[in-house]
Amino acid sequence: MSEKTKVTRRRFLLLAGGTVGAAALTCGGLAISARPPEVKFIEESFGDGTNMKDKILVAYASKCGSTGQVAEAIGRTLANNGATVDVRHINNVSDLSAYRAVVLGSAIRQAKWLPEAVKFVEAHQPELSRVPTAYFTVCMTLSEDTEESRRKAAAFLEPVRQILEPVEEGFFAGKMDYGQLGLVERLMIERVMQIPQGDFRNWTAIQTWAQALPARL
């Protein structure tokens, strides 16, 4: 049901309903938007463009944009190592023929990659199987760096591995901003699942992983 806490539908509806009711009663002093703000997903290209034979795609699926920032950091690091890199939202990628390697990443929702990321691997499995393909996962489970949280994070990727085994995997803590969520999702995450708000991304760890990636790609 979730990364940290399994919640029954009945319990969630009771808790969320009570919270919404309380918010309505005190609406003069409490304002919670029912819709999340619009997210602008990152699309960038790095490198001087002269080494097109070493062109790498970094494609990502993100809910609120923070995974796109991780993808951008990975792409920039790969370019610093001599590659030409396109960073793209996964929904905007249809042709992989220009790339000699692919790095795919996703945020986690309900203990798994986002559906569009999984569908992308399924749809492009033949092309991805012919080039080195790496995965990275961004999740709040890793906000606590323990052996148990790392085991859970690795398990989130198992359905995707069954479609295509990657040459490398990266797992990174994510960012939780309640202001980027719609009302119902915010109530679920903040009040029921009790996932903490904050930016837990370790940029040094992300860059270190990306620096070692060319040897695997």
Q: pLDDT digits over 114-155, tens only?
A: 999 999 999 999 999 999 999 999 998 898 889 999 999 999
Judged by average pLDDT, the poorest of 36-50, 81-95, 119-133, 191-205 is 191-205
Give the model's confidence band at 33: pLDDT under 50 very low, under 70 low, under 90 confident, else very high.
very low
Cross-strand bridge partners of residue 134: 103, 168
Domain 42-180+200-216: CATH superfamily is Flavodoxin domain (3.40.50.360)
The mean pLDDT value of the chain amounts to 81
Res. 57: pLDDT tops 80:
yes
Q: Is 110 left (phi over 0), alpha (psi -120 to 50) or beta?
A: left
Give the model's confidence band at 98: pLDDT under 50 very low, under 70 low, under 90 confident, else very high.
very high
C-alpha dihedral over 43, 47, 50, 52, to 10 degrees? -50
Domain ranges of the chain: 42-180+200-216
- What is the C-alpha to C-alpha distance for residues 186 and 109, in angstroms, rounded to an integer? 13
Eight-state DSSP code of residue 188? I
Exposed e or buried b per residue across 164-187, where buried means at least 16 C-beta atoms within 10 angstroms of its C-beta: bebebbbbbbbbbeeebbebeebb
- Strands 44-46, 84-89: pairing is antiparallel
Count of other CB atoms within 10 angstroms of residue 60: 28
Mean pLDDT of 84-109: 96
